Amino acid sequence: MNPNLAKLQPYPFEKLRTLYAGFEPDAALSPINLSIGEPKHPTPEFIKRALTGSLGGLASYPPTIGSIELREAIAAWLVRRYGLSKIDAATQVLPVNGSREALFAFAQTVIDLDRGEPPLVVCPNPFYQIYEGAALLAGAAPYFVNTSAERGFAADYEAVPEAIWRRTQLLYACSPSNPTGHVMPLDEWRRLFELSDRHGFVIASDECYSEIYFDEEHPPMGALQAANRLGRSNFARLVVFSSLSKRSNVPGMRSGFVAGDAALLKSFLLYRTYHGGAMGPAVQAASAAAWKDEIHVRENRRLYAEKFAATLGLIKAPLVAGMPQGGFYYWMKTPIADTGFARELYRCRNVLVLPGSFLARDAHGGNPGANYVRIALVAPLAECIEAIGRIADFSNRL
Ligand SMILES: Cc1ncc(COP(=O)(O)O)c(C=O)c1O
């Protein structure tokens, strides 16, 4: 067996099952699950129609590069959304079967084990666990850069020693961040691009929450947008990962894209050709329709904004949580250890949340997720209000 498989950690939801095992919730209260970041708003009808209207394509193998119609729809979206001066649908855009598989597969394309020193993959901490698994199965080691409330949840790249940067081949960024909701501003991107220029590492920017935000006038900045603003219009060593799962409420469709540096995408396409990463033709047609429409995305945002507006005021000391800049999570500070908090909340109030320490690793003297829980506002409005009310009341009586 590949010995690197043994290095993989159990997924956070497995840890959650273990944490709750043997504890019975109060059956008088309806269960509310806010632990999983799975969108639950209905899939728009026009996307379903585009999917079922394209079943004719099932009779042939789709090319891995995807249809030009889909790549052009994505390129046009990128130009509209991020004001890019140009992006080439032929060489700088590649459809993928959701951003998760692509975030994983990309590391397998980038990591070079013959470059001398053992390779490192820099990840924010807390983080989306796929980055770690991708690094480990590519034969690299993750290097965690902590984020903290004191720094507004920006990763502290200045604390990374030169010797680490020298070994770094890939860096994952996540903006808006899962779980903290932090959005990277232009200055943070500028600094990362400088570091990438100096040390030659590739930046993989995970932007799957980019369309969940609360100020229609100020959508989160994306990495391609930052590069474009800074005159880096060839996107050297930069690739972004985007997804329809959250934007269009189609997590089951498995549809996203990768865009950026043409040379990196050429190698990634080669890798995917062998890996077998082509997107089915019906999904391609439905995806093109979804990327062309913004009306349903605005409505989706409105539903999340409504839930945050209705619950933010219920969060009081000893709890601490603010509005995220993007995404659909509260990253909530807990008055007791996050694991005990989550377990007792389940037992006494039948509400499931995810302990923050499950989303982070011990690094540089602590686990930056400890004493936080991640709360996904994915349930219907009334359930979110009920859940946050129960959490507030539970915390008051601790
Ligand atoms: C930070 C982050 N990146 C990527 C993904 C993967 O999303 P998908 O594969 O549905 O595009 C998720 C899903 O929850 C996520 O939270």
Q: Would you write out the chain's pLDDT as a tens digit for each of its 398 residues? A: 999 999 999 998 899 999 999 899 988 999 999 999 899 899 999 999 999 999 999 999 999 999 999 999 999 999 999 999 999 999 999 999 999 999 999 999 999 999 989 999 999 999 999 999 999 999 999 999 999 999 999 999 999 999 999 999 999 999 999 999 999 999 999 999 999 999 999 999 999 999 999 999 999 999 999 999 999 989 999 999 999 999 999 999 999 999 999 999 999 999 999 999 999 999 999 999 999 999 999 999 999 999 999 999 999 999 999 999 999 999 999 999 999 999 999 999 999 999 999 999 999 999 999 999 999 999 999 999 999 999 999 999 88
376 in contact with ligand 1, CB cutoff 6 A? no
126 in contact with ligand 1, CB cutoff 6 A? no
Measured from the Cα of 103, ligand 1's closest atom is 4
Measured from the Cα of 206, ligand 1's closest atom is 3
pLDDT, tens digit, 9 for 90 and up, residues 198-214: 999 999 999 999 999 99
Question: What spacing in Å lies between the alpha carbon of 319 and ligand 1's midpoint?
Answer: 27
pLDDT of residue 243: 98
CA distance 262 to 44: 33
Nearest Cα to Cα of residue 67 among 84, 36, 90, 44: 90
CA distance 239 to 92: 9
Strands (E) across the chain are located at 32-33, 93-96, 120-125, 141-146, 168-174, 202-206, 238-243, 256-260, 329-333, 351-352, 354-355, 372-376
Question: What spacing in Å lies between the alpha carbon of 312 and ligand 1's midpoint?
Answer: 24
Q: Cβ distance 182 to 176 under 8 Å?
A: yes
Q: How many CB atoms lie within 10 A of CB 158?
A: 9
pLDDT of residue 332: 98
Q: Whose CA is nearest to atom 14 of ligand 1?
A: 37
Which amino acid does the sequence have at 287?
A: S
pLDDT of residue 352: 96
- Cβ neighbours for 360, distance < 8 A, ≥ 6 positions apart: 125, 126, 127, 144, 367, 368, 369, 370
CA distance 246 to 338: 26
284 in contact with ligand 1, CB cutoff 6 A? no
DSSP string, 280-326: PHHHHHHHHHHHH--HHHHHHHHHHHHHHHHHGGG--TT-B----SS
pLDDT of residue 196: 98
245 in contact with ligand 1, CB cutoff 6 A? yes
Name the DSSP letter for residue 358. G
Question: What spacing in Å lies between the alpha carbon of 364 and ligand 1's midpoint?
Answer: 26
Question: What spacing in Å lies between the alpha carbon of 100 and ligand 1's midpoint?
Answer: 5
Give the CA distances from residue 260 to residues 31, 190, 249, in Å, rounded to whole numbers and listed in that order: 43, 16, 24
Question: Dihedral angle at the C-alpha atoms of 80, 83, 89, 95, nearest 10 degrees?
Answer: -70
Q: SS3 of 36, please?
A: coil
pLDDT of residue 27: 87
Question: What spacing in Å lies between the alpha carbon of 93 and ligand 1's midpoint?
Answer: 18
374 in contact with ligand 1, CB cutoff 6 A? no
